Structure 1
Amino acid sequence: MINMKKKFSSFEIGSFISTTIFDDLTLSPNTRKIDKKIGNLISQVIKNKEFAGKSSESILLRTPQTSVLVIGLGNKKCLSNDKLRDASAKASITAKNLKAKSFVFNHDILDMTNDHVEAVVQGSELGLYNFNIYKSNKKDFRPSTMNIIIKNKTKTSLTKSIKNGEIIANAMMLSRDISNLPSKDCTPLQLASRAKKISSNRPIKTTIFNTTKLKKLGFGGLLGVASGSQQPPCFIIMEYNGGKRGEKPVVFVGKTITFDTGGISIKPSPSMDEMKHDKSGGATVMALIQAVADLKLPVNVIGLMPATENMPSGSAYKPGDVITFYNKKTAEILNTDAEGRVILADALSYAQNYKPKMIIDFATLTGACIIALGTAVSGLLGNDKKIIDSLFESGERTGEKVWELPLTKDYKKLIQSDIADIKNIGGRGAGTITAAAFLSHFVGDYPWAHLDIAGTAWTQEGTPKKSYIKKGATGVGVLLSIDFLRNL
């Protein structure tokens, strides 16, 4: 929830101020004034080589009059939205720790773009993110005002970017909240209620398919995975029409497993608690639809979220079962822990009803993606090079990096079944690719991209250290998708 006021301000040194420096160590006009005010301490730490202006480097200088956080941004030619997002997060976190009711973020060394302002606003909020709803003491000091000082002479055109930055940060925090919730408080039907609440005061149409409707439509994948759980599944549809009437929509699909035990092919117990994050794809899509509506983007966007638990029981689907999907294709189930692709199959098939411009799905799909790419980038596969390239460029601009993996006919042969059309696993090798090969059977001829966010949806070993990313869910995919839609 956004409750810190942000505004452009004239230069003033208060009880706490942060300022940015590149690695050439040139002090901006305002930084020189700050330096003079605190007895040339900034110059001194630079001279003593205690501060080099490297990216993500910071040093807090304290005097009786004021505290100054000096933040490094690295090479001036390599300034990015992500570096500014991280820098402003450092500033807001420090303000919180110092219990400063207001603080200054000074960046007067270069003119700022709208994207830069949005990133600064996002970082300031995401740095203060705290999932504390289960803490008995929820008191959490937050600064009330952030004064942003920039070099630009004209700021009018940038003012809207403050609001837009808040909208995007709010969506990312929504995604994090949903992903972080334990399954008992985020069942499929509870998630459907949240979608309806989001829609209630926005131009979003939300439709929920219950078990009866799913059976009537033939959602064999979603119903199969849900068969072991006492929690009924549902299919959440959120539609936003901000584009021209009749314009083909972009359809986003999010894997929404509210808890994944692996089913009959049960997972080992260590770290199984993290499987509350297996709904992160759906969390991203729900948050994205909210943000697109709040930003009033001139596009038609649809979000599809197949939601269920994956549990073992006497009624659970089993290895060896054959499932018939919405598009009438059949799959032999060899591993019930490869359930994400099984529920996505129905959703991707249903997406074709909208005759979409393209389909993009987000899924915490395979541990193999972490083996291949680690936890710094998301896996990217698909059937349309233009979409793949555009998503890669959005990843570079936003810091939510992606990397393409091949998806050729050779891999598709690995999921051929002896008794059904396909099987839901393809052996030990290339697990991320064979999972995408499975999904490719359900998108028809429509342009499609698949993002495997198994390594990036929540913090794990190797997650890049960024001040705006807290332990737990990251909200990955929201920034990427908004940038992608803005650049269509």
Structure 2
Amino acid sequence: MNLQITYGHQEQEPEADVILTFVTEQELQADAETGLALHPQLDDGLRQLYARGVYRAKPEETYVLPTLGLLPSPFVVYIGLSSEITAEKLRLAGAAAARAVQPLKAVHIRVLLPQLLVEGAEQYGTATAAQALSEGLILGTDSRQAIRREAKEGPGLGSVTIIPNDAAGAEIAAAWEEGIRRGQVYAEAVCYARELTNRPGNLLTPEQLAEEAEQLGAELDIECEVLDEWSAAEQGMGGLLGVGQGSSNPPRMIVLHYEGAPDDPTVWGWIGKGITFDTGGISLKKAAGMEEMISDMGGAAAVLGAMRIVGKLRPAVNIVAVIPAAENMPSDRALKPGDVITTMSGRTVEVVNTDAEGRLVLADGLTTAIQRGATHLVDVATLTGAVMVALGDVATGAISNNPELMGKVRDAGERSGEKVWELPSYAPYRKQLDSDAADMKNTGGRLAGTITGGLFIGTFAEERPWVHLDIGGTAWLSRSRGWESKGATGVMVRTLAELTSPSN
């Protein structure tokens, strides 16, 4: 993603191909003498469209109007905006604008800030408004890039200049510039996570995912440790090795170390499920839709994306990011239902379904994070299909053993516009994992599958504050929605990054 967003009139700024301007329904209902601050004839044309019911300026509703020489730019795109502005509404408006611009083949665009935005931003912070709008513009522009013999024609959108209202002073300008910078860093990290998740399984094996993490660490001065199958065996990672043993591509345990507050005893442990392709193993999945199982490393992508933000913004926190990476394949070497494995923690697990493999690698992932000093744990995983039955593709399901940490994660999700819904963790659910053959079994059956899957992972938190985020429904979409793209969404990148903000 090469889109650059700047604030204010820039020297040697290229002529804009498109002007973006926000409009509310109340403005279109106002007296015709009240200008929309663009051009009298264009203003009149838009009001006529409103009177005919063609354009209502509803939130995220866009309309393209040719300027016919009335302005230097050939097109104006109007974006409907609610008079009650929030950061999420701005993020969605930015994404809607970006999508409206794409058919126009625009390279350079200008965004005119209305007085409403300058005044309304004071309710939640000007920098927050700038960050949200910038995120929306970038994320709305981003889409999956196909691997084709011939590259896509055209340069695509390259730059956005946000033009301030006349009332905006130096203090507001500084806040907008800071917000734009953060928004660009956050959004580019989401695009990075999306690209990783969209990458075909033959181009992203566990070893290649480890190489990606090493490159990220080298680029951002973050220590990266990669354990191969032999090192994993020495450390007793029976969960990771068991899942990976059916594939010719051996597993990897990836660990990133970031120390931004050496004197702070708190160390975040972020653990992302990195199943680079999931066939279900011997408990084979149905063929229809299996190609989407390239997304089973969406949790790993979220952690790497969040670490990209951390590496660029350098917050005063400590993080151990862990990615257990493996391919889940059927073969003569693969785990079989009924096998018993010993995890890194020493707990034994009866494998009753080899398609419940993510929790096995995450068990060793949590233990790895704890052994490297993590005090607060958050794992992110495309863990269950059951979470889609409960929450669809709208909200991420959560299980936790600590209300305070759960509250922080929920608040971070609200700031980022990513919905998180906590599910109950009553003791009877945990009993569903009792086994006659081992300490526990890896699935509690169909009933409450998201909850029991989460509670399996929580067993390995060793009483530390822990939150499990099941992105099985939110990591991949069949069609674009708001600022989320078709295919990989990069969900939870920004929520994890928000956990490092001073408010947490």
SS state at 1:450 partner: strand
Is residue 227 of structure 2 the alignment partner of residue 221 of structure 1? no
| 8 Å contact kept, 1:25–1:52 | no
How far off is 1:96 after superposition?
3.2
The equivalences for 1:368-379 within 5 A come to 368-379=386-397
Q: Provide Cα deviations, 1:268-296, integer angstroms capped at 9, x if missing partner.
A: 00000000000000010011111111011
Percent identity of paired positions between Structure 1 and Structure 2 = 35
* Matched residue, 2:2: 2
Compute the displacement of 1:83 (Å).
2.2
Task: Specify whether residues 100 and 340 from structure 1 end up closer, same or farther in structure 2 by C-alpha distance, changes over 3 A only.
Answer: same
Conserved 8 A contact 2:27-2:36: no
The Cα shift of 1:140 comes to 4.0
The match for 1:45 is 49
- With 63-72 and 215-224 compared, the bigger mean Cα shift is at 63-72
RMSD after superposition: 2.2
Q: Does 1:142 align with 2:151?
A: no
1:363 CA displacement: 0.2
| Aligned equivalent of 1:82 | 88
Partner secondary structure for residue 93 of structure 1:
helix
In structure 2, relative to structure 1, the CA distance for the partners of 1:327 and 1:245 (3 Å cut) is: same
Q: Could you report, residue by residue, the CA deviation over 1:107-126 in whole angstroms, capped at 9, with x for unpaired residues? A: 32222411111122222222
SS at match of 1:442: helix
Letter in 2 for 1:99: K
* TM-score for the superposition, normalised by structure 1: 0.94
Shift of 1:158: 2.5
Equivalent residues of 1:35, 1:43 under 8 A apart? no
Alignment of 1:473-488 (within 5 A): 473-486=488-501, 487-488=503-504
Would you say 1:67 and 2:75 are equivalent positions?
yes
Determine whether 1:153 maps to 2:160: no
Q: Which residue of 1 aligns with 2:26?
A: 24
Q: Which residue in the other structure is 2:426 paired with?
A: 408
Cα contact 1:4–1:143 (8 A) shared by 2: no
What are the superposed Cα offsets for residues 85-140 of structure 1, whole Å, 9 maximum, x if unpaired?
Answer: 22222333333321223211123222241111112222222222233251222234
AA partner of residue 364 (structure 2): D
Higher deviation after alignment, 347-356 or 133-142 = 133-142
Q: Deviations over 1:56-107 (max 9, x none)?
A: 2112122312322111123x33x23232222222333333321223211123
CA distance in 2, matches of 1:58, 1:214: 53
Q: Deviations over 1:449-473 (max 9, x none)?
A: 000000000113xx7721x322110
Deviations along 1:12-48, whole A, 9 cap, x unmatched?
9954211112343369999712141525122222233
Residue 33 of structure 1 corresponds to 37
Counterpart-to-counterpart distance in 2, 1:199 and 1:291: 12
For 1:39 and 1:115, locate their aligned partners in 2 and report how far apart those are by CA, in whole Å: 30
Q: Of 213, 221, 232, which residue of structure 2 is paired with 1:203? A: 221
Alpha-carbon offset, residue 479 of structure 1:
1.4
Q: 2:105 aligns with which of 85, 99, 103?
A: 99
Deviates further, 397-406 or 61-70: 61-70
Shifted more, 24-33 versus 173-182: the winner is 24-33
List per-residue Cα deviations over 1:197-252 (Å, max 9, x = no partner): 11112220000000110000000000000010000100000111112335321110
Deviation at 1:177, TM superposition (A): 0.7
Deviates more, 1:414-423 or 1:98-107: 98-107
Pick the aligned partner of 1:116 from 101, 107, 129. 129
For residue 60 of structure 2, the aligned residue among 53, 56, 62 is: 56
Quickly say closer, same or farther: Cα 1:301–1:140, change in 2 above 3 A. farther
Task: Verify: 1:271 aligned to 2:280, yes or no.
Answer: no
Cα distance 1:39–1:173, how it changes in 2: closer, same or farther (>3 A)?
Answer: closer
The C-alpha deviation readout for 1:393-434, integer Å capped at 9, x for no partner, is 222222110101001111001110011111111111100001
Aligned partner letter, 1:274: E
Q: Which amino acid is 1:91 matched to?
A: A
Q: What is the alpha-carbon distance in structure 2 between the residues aligned to residue 398 and residue 25 of structure 1? A: 29
Partner of 2:248 in structure 1?
A: 230
Please show how residues 340-355 of structure 1 align to structure 2 within 5 Å: 340-355=358-373
Aligned equivalent of 1:452:
470
* Cα distance between partner residues in 2 of 1:398 and 1:3: 20
Amino acid of the residue matched to residue 258 of structure 1?
T
Distance across 2 between alignment mates of 1:423 and 1:306: 20
Relative to structure 1, is the Cα distance of residues 82 and 13 closer, same or farther in structure 2, using a 3 angstrom cutoff? farther
- In structure 1, distance between residues paired with 2:235 and 2:314: 33
Q: Residues 12, 195 of structure 1: CA spacing in aligned structure 2 closer, same or farther, 3 A cutoff? A: closer
**Alpha-carbon distance in 2 for matches of 1:133, 1:94:** 21
Partner of 1:125: 138
**2:5 touches 2:162 (CA, 8 Å); kept in 1?**
no
Conservation of the 8 A alpha-carbon contact between 1:384 and 1:448: yes
Asked if residue 470 in structure 1 is aligned to residue 478 in structure 2, the reply is no
Tell me, in whole angstroms, the C-alpha distance in 2 between the residues paired with 1:215 and 1:363.
23
In structure 1, stretches of 5+ residues that fail to align are none
Partner Cα separation in structure 1 for residue 51 and residue 211 of structure 2: 58
Distance 1:17 1:408, change over 3 A: same
Residue 354 of structure 1 aligns with an amino acid whose one-letter code is: R
Distance in 2, matches of 1:116 and 1:94, equals 21
Aligned to 1:361: 379
Contact 2:77 2:101 in 1 (8 A): no
| Superposed CA offset, 1:319-349 (max 9, x none) | 0001100110011000000000011011112
> Which deviates further from its counterpart, 123-132 or 292-301?
123-132
Unpaired segments ≥5 residues, structure 2: none
TM-score (norm 2): 0.91
- Code of the aligned partner of 2:75: S
SS at match of 2:310: helix
